[in-house]
A and B are shown apart, each in its own frame.
Chain A
């Protein structure tokens, strides 16, 4: 009898050197448990994890498939726990030793994220430094950006043809940087429309973007001394449903036949639906977005496309605000640093064993 019992207990080798420790860089409430696989791992049903708060009476709290040697346990902070792990084959269990007592706790800093904040510090400093310089009235050069030269002619053309101008900021929210960049450009376009007395159509798919745009356009009209010319119905909300919005904009394009369509902001699949419809009406189209997935379609269907960062550059450039221009110089310097970092890291990566990739987790 005892022999058989013994036979069973020795039949299965237990998992060895069990480690239980507080999960690092987390908000507490978690303990990591690690062990060396049982030599019989292949034949196991699974591993069972047992927990105790006094080191004597354990209760099964979790289990994990064989081949695995790590699990996390949800715990109460600052309460002591003991762990042990059993290798299980059907009804047979072989227990590991009991872990040293361990408490879970919350950390104040997530070290894995530090690199992000170092990067933020570096780039942030550079950009702000150049903005500060620009404030001191240093003249800054920015190369020509095709789409921008086009804007003036576009409005002029519309005036001659006596046709309106359509401007859509896409389906982004107010916190999307592309939307904000677009809102910088919309003001300038509206100003020109006000000067030339060209009709301005601006449908929206987000109520907040609509509210802000309305203010900006209104401001643009009064800034050139024609507040009376502002038509409150020229800036309006349509719907927040992606394709319903596209359907509505398509409708405007074919009915109002704008001379120029501005498709500048944050776009998804509706980008080509609008761009191609606009092209079919013979309008000049100026597009711009930072959505890489949509750029191919704008580039094919539109006359001018502000690609990615060009959009932001444009929004700074067009306003001629030295402060905004300063930012661009800062971005350029940051690019140099990224380039250098890439090359340096590659040299290290190629010549040494140093795990350079871990710096960029």
Chain B
């Protein structure tokens, strides 16, 4: 039993306990921890945005005469029009720019990552069979995968009532989905418990020093 004397360790430990106490019920300790968390994270955000974005990418270059940066400066400033009712609609300009660019850029990315790549991985070809490193059974696995994908997609067919063949396939589809979800859930448990063990080692070891 050799307890820590580092004030930061104490702060970290007390905050940790405060969060855990929430599992029993909401209480003043949790409330304090929660409000500290929100306060500090916003303070850190302010620091980060100022020192790591505004200063290096806007102010410094601007004062070094990179006048083109006045454009983003003005666009950004338009956010503040929100507080001026008469011209508050101008706030749509910076929002529109961020959203438009983000969405535009996401279109090809989505098609590549979510459609083309997924289709490529599903097609039944000798190459895809070997990918399993499962020898002759590879073909069966690919076939199951193929069937599963088709059925799951059919579950998301909205513009027809789920009758007849569509009813069958979408039912199989939802079975695949449920198996997948269950597996993903079970697989995650170990990762989460590891995190818990990590926190407990901090409490019992670093702070209290009851375990080595």
Contacts and interface: CB of A to CB of B under 8 A. Distances in A.
Do A and B come together as binding partners?
Answer: yes
A313 B159 CA distance: 10
Interface string A114-140: 011101100100000000000000001
Given A116-B111, A120-B111, A332 B158 contact: yes
Contacts of B123: 342, 345-346, 349, 356-357, 360
A213 B120 CA distance: 38
Contacts of B108: 113, 116-117, 120
B102 A313 contact: no
A227 interface: no
Interface string B172-209: 00000100111011001000000000000000000000
B91 A211 contact: yes
Interface residues of B, number: 60
A335 B117 contact: no
Interface of A is mostly: helix
Contacts of A360: 116-117, 119-120, 123
Contacts of A308: 156
B87 interface: no
B115 A255 contact: no
B63 to A, nearest CB: 26
A357 B120 contact: yes
B38 A244 contact: yes
A254 interface: yes
Interface stretch (B5-13, B53-61, B64-72, B93-101): B93-101
Interface in A96-122: 113, 115-117, 119-120
Interface stretch (A7-15, A30-38, A163-171, A233-241): A233-241
A295 B102 contact: no
Contacts of B119: 338, 341-342, 345, 360
A228 interface: no
Given A173-B102, A339-B153, A142 B124 contact: no
A324 interface: no
A161 interface: no
A322 to B, nearest CB: 13
Interface string B27-52: 00011011001101110110000000
B125 interface: yes
Given A251-B30, A296-B181, A212 B95 contact: yes
Nearest to B101: A175
A279 interface: no
Given A175-B102, A335-B157, A349 B125 contact: yes
Contacts of A243: 37
B149 interface: yes
Interface of B is mostly: helix
A300 interface: yes
A174 B42 CA distance: 19
A329 B95 contact: no
Interface in B80-131: 82, 91, 95, 98-99, 101-103, 106-108, 111-112, 115-117, 119-120, 122-128
B133 to A, nearest CB: 18
A43 interface: no
Interface string A140-166: 111101000000000000000000000
A71 interface: no
A143 B162 contact: yes
B28 to A, nearest CB: 12
Contact of A241 (B31, B41, B150, B177): B41
Given A328-B159, A342-B123, A240 B185 contact: no
A254 B24 CA distance: 12
Given A119-B116, A247-B38, A239 B45 contact: yes
B22 interface: yes
A295 B103 contact: no
Nearest to A295: B181
B162 A175 contact: no
A92 interface: no
Interface string B141-174: 0000010011001101111111000000000000
A91 interface: no
B21 to A, nearest CB: 12
A270 interface: no
Contact of A177 (B103, B159, B161): B103
A145 to B, nearest CB: 8
B68 to A, nearest CB: 22
Given A142-B158, A346-B123, 12 more contacts: A120-B111, A140-B159, A176-B102, A177-B106, A208-B95, A239-B45, A296-B188, A313-B158, A332-B160, A338-B119, A356-B125, A360-B123
Closest 6 CB pairs of A and B: A175-B102, A349-B125, A241-B41, A360-B120, A296-B181, A346-B124
18 contacts: A140-B159, A141-B159, A174-B95, A174-B99, A176-B102, A180-B99, A239-B38, A240-B41, A241-B38, A296-B181, A296-B184, A300-B181, A335-B153, A338-B115, A345-B123, A349-B123, A356-B123, A360-B116
